[in-house]
C-alpha cells in the first residue's frame, strides 16, 4: 500500500524527471517518490498543470483538494483503472432493489452503532463514566434498524443514535474549552465541532481513496442516497469507521492536551476552525492512526486501519455480487 | 540505497532512484518500499548500470524498530510526508 502525501504549504507541484517535484517560496525544491505514492492531499495553494494530471492518471494517484478552512473542496479522480461492468451492474441493481438495498443499509447502520457502543463502553471502563443510559439507548437504536420500513427511516435512526452518542462526548471530555453542547456544521460553532467536522471529512476521503482501488463505483451508495451531487458510497463506508478512527482520535488529542485552544481561530462569519498549526497536529495524528496496525482476527496477520477500510470495500463488493453476505467490521475493544 | 557509478550514469541513476526513494545526500537515498517496488527499483537501476564498473548498495531493514539513524551536521534531505 502506497503512502499519502500532504501538501500543507503553498507552491507548485509538477512532473519532473518522471517523478513529482514540489517548489515553494523560500524553501528548497524537493523531489517526491511517485512509485510509492497513492494519494495527495492538497491543503495550501497549489499551481499545477495538465501534464501533471496526466502523469497522476498514469500512476493512479488520486488528488484531494481542501479550501482555506480545511473543508473538502473536491477530488481529481483519475480515469477508472479497475473496470468491471459486472460490478457496476450488480451495484446499480442492488441499489434499485428496495429490499436488498435496505438490508445492506441497515447492516451498515448496525455496524456503525455497534462501533459507537464499543467506544462508549471502552471509556466507561477506563474512566468509570456513568453512561449506562446512552449505552442502552444505542442498543435500542441498533435493534430498531433492521426493522425499519425504508432507507430514509434508517437515516433517521442513524441520526438519532448519533445525537445520543454525541452527548457522551461532553461527559468524557472535562476540558471546558472542548465542550460540544450540540453538533453544528457549516460553520462549526465551537472547537469540538470543528475537530469532528475536519476529521470526518478526512475519514470520507480515506474511504473514497480506498474505493478507487476496488471495482466499486463511489457514486452509488446504499445508505446515503445516490444523487446528482457527488460520491456517496464512501460516506456509507466511513460510517463504520468514524467512531473508531475519528472519535477515538479526538478524545486522545484533547485528553492528552496535544490539541489546545491556541490551535483554533474564529473566522469572520462565526465559524471556529483549526489554524495551520492545529491542522498539522491533527493530520499527523490522523496519518499515524490510520497506519496503525491491528491483528486481523481471521487473516491472522497485521492490517492497518487504512488496509481494513480497503478490505471493507471488498466485502461490500462481495456482498453485491452475492458471494459473501456483508458483515461489518466491529472493533473488539 | 548508496550508489557509486561512472560519471556518465550518475544523473540517470539519481533520476530513476528518486521515483522510488527520497534523496538524502549525494549518492544516498532512503525510503520504504514493498517487496515488489523494491524489485522494480532494482530492475530499473540495473538497466542503467555498467555492471563491470558501477556498484549500488541497498541496506534493508525488515522493520524500523531496530533501526536508528543519527545525523551529525546539516540534514540535507528528509523523508517527511508533509510538505
Do the chains contact at A284 and B82, CB–CB below 8 Å? yes
Task: Find, among A245, A69, A262, A119, the residue nearest to A178 by Cα.
Answer: A262
**Of B15, B23, B33, which is closest to A36 when you measure between CB atoms?**
B33
Contact A274, A198 (CB under 8 A): yes
Contact B11, A15 (CB under 8 A): no
Q: Do the beta carbons of residue A34 and residue A18 sit within 8 Å?
A: yes
A17–chain B Cβ distance below 8 A for any pair:
yes
Nearest to A54 by CA among A75, A25, A78: A78
Q: Where are the beta strands (DSSP E) in A114-215?
A: none
pTM value?
Answer: 0.85
The strand pairing partners of A331, in sequence order, are: none
* pLDDT of B72: 92
Q: E strands along A184-324, which residues?
A: 264-266, 272-274, 293-295, 302-304
Query: Would you call B46 an interface residue with chain A, using a CB distance cutoff of 8 Å?
Result: no
Q: Whose grid coordinates read 445516490?
A: A226
Residue in A closest to B13 by C-alpha: A17
pLDDT of B63 > 90? The answer is no
Beta carbons of B81 and A30 less than 8 Å apart: no
Nearest chain A CA: its distance from B35 CA (Å): 11
Interface contact A32-B41, CB threshold 8 A: no
- Looking at residues A117-144, what average pLDDT do you find? 82
Q: pLDDT-derived band of residue A227, with 50, 70 and 90 as boundaries?
A: low
Nearest alpha carbon to residue A243 among A138, A142, A165? A165
Nearest CA in chain A to B79: A32
Pick from A24, A34, A287: CB nearest B19: A34
β-bridge partners, A83: none
Who's near A326: CB < 8 A, 6+ residues apart?
A104, A107, A315, A316, A318, A319
Question: Is A23 part of the contact surface with chain B (CB cutoff 8 Å)?
Answer: no
Report yes or no: A130 at the B interface, CB cutoff 8 Å.
no
Predicted ipTM of the assembly? 0.87
Give the best-scoring range by mean pLDDT among A138-142, A259-263, B52-56.
Answer: B52-56
d(CA A188, CA A207): 23
Structure confidence at residue A119 (pLDDT): 87
- Are residues A30 and B40, on separate chains, in Cβ contact within 8 Å? no
Residue A226 has pLDDT above 70, yes or no: no
Stretch A58-64: mean pLDDT? 92
Give A120's Cβ-side CA count (13 Å radius): 26
Instruction: Name the range with the highest mean pLDDT among A52-56, A122-126, A160-164, B78-82.
Output: A52-56
Give the mean model confidence (pLDDT) for residues A151-179: 82
Greater pLDDT, B77 or A322: B77
Yes or no, beta carbons of B82 and A22 under 8 Å apart? no
Residue showing cell 479550501: A67
Q: Positive or negative CA dihedral for A275, A277, A283, A289?
A: negative
How far apart CA A254 and CA A195 sit, in angstroms, is: 10
Contact in structure between A8 and A276 (CB atoms under 8 Å): yes
Give the span between the Cα atoms of B78 and B29, in whole angstroms: 10
Query: In whole angstroms, what is the distance from residue A168 CA to residue A123 CA?
Result: 10
Pick the range with the lowest mean pLDDT from A64-73, A158-167, A268-277, B1-10. A268-277
In a 3-state reduction of DSSP, which class is residue B23? strand
Q: How far apart are CA A74 and CA B80, in angstroms?
A: 24
Residue with cell 452518542: A165
**B12 contacts in chain A (CB < 8 Å):** none
Using the Cβ of B79 and the Cβ atoms of chain A, whether some distance falls under 8 Å is answered with: no
Mean model confidence pLDDT for chain B? 91
pLDDT at A229: 62
Whether chain B has a CB inside 8 Å of the CB on A3: the answer is yes
CA distance between the termini of chain A: 26
d(CA A117, CA A111): 10
pLDDT for res A58: 92
Amino acid at each position: 500500500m502506497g503512502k499519502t502525501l500532504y501538501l500543507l504549504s503553498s507552491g507548485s507541484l509538477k512532473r519532473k524527471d518522471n517523478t513529482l517535484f514540489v517548489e515553494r517560496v523560500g524553501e528548497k525544491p524537493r523531489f517526491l517518490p511517485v512509485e510509492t505514492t497513492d494519494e495527495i492531499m492538497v491543503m495550501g495553494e497549489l499551481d499545477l498543470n495538465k501534464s501533471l494530471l496526466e502523469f497522476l492518471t498514469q500512476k493512479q494517484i488520486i488528488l484531494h483538494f481542501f479550501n482555506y478552512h480545511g473543508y473538502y473542496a473536491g477530488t481529481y479522480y483519475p480515469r477508472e483503472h479497475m473496470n468491471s461492468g459486472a460490478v457496476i451492474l450488480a451495484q446499480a441493481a442492488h441499489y434499485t432493489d428496495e429490499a436488498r438495498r435496505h438490508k445492506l443499509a441497515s447492516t451498515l447502520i448496525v455496524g456503525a452503532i455497534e462501533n459507537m457502543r464499543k467506544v462508549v463502553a471502552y471509556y466507561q471502563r477506563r474512566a468509570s463514566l456513568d453512561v449506562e443510559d446512552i449505552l442502552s439507548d444505542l442498543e435500542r437504536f441498533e435493534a430498531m434498524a433492521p426493522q425499519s420500513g425504508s432507507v430514509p427511516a434508517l437515516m433517521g435512526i442513524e441520526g438519532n443514535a448519533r445525537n445520543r452518542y454525541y452527548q457522551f462526548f461532553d461527559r468524557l471530555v472535562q476540558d471546558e474549552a472542548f465542550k460540544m453542547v450540540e453538533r453544528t456544521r457549516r460553520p462549526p460553532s465551537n472547537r469540538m465541532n470543528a475537530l469532528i467536522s475536519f476529521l470526518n471529512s478526512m475519514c470520507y476521503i480515506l474511504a473514497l481513496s480506498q474505493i478507487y482501488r476496488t471495482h466499486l463505483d463511489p457514486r452509488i451508495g446504499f445508505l446515503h442516497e445516490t444523487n446528482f451531487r457527488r460520491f456517496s458510497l464512501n460516506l456509507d463506508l466511513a460510517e463504520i469507521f468514524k467512531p473508531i478512527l475519528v472519535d477515538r482520535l479526538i478524545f486522545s488529542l484533547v485528553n492528552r492536551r496535544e490539541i489546545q485552544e491556541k490551535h483554533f481561530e474564529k473566522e469572520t462569519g462565526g465559524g471556529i476552525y483549526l489554524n495551520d498549526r492545529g491542522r498539522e497536529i491533527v493530520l499527523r495524528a490522523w496519518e499515524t492512526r490510520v497506519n496503525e496496525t491491528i491483528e486481523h482476527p481471521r487473516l491472522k496477520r497485521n492490517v492497518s486501519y487504512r488496509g481494513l477500510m480497503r478490505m471493507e470495500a471488498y466485502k461490500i463488493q462481495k456482498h453485491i455480487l452475492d458471494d459473501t453476505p456483508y458483515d461489518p467490521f466491529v472493533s473488539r475493544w | 540505497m548508496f550508489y557509486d557509478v561512472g560519471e556518465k550514469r550518475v544523473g540517470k541513476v539519481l533520476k530513476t532512484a528518486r521515483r522510488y526513494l527520497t534523496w538524502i545526500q549525494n549518492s544516498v537515498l532512503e525510503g520504504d518500499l514493498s517487496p515488489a517496488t523494491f524489485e522494480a527499483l532494482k530492475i530499473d537501476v540495473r538497466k542503467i548500470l555498467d555492471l563491470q564498473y558501477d556498484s549500488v548498495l541497498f541496506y534493508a531493514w525488515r522493520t524500523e524498530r531496530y533501526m536508528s539513524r543519527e545525523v551529525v551536521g546539516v540534514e540535507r534531505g528528509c523523508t517527511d510526508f508533509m510538505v
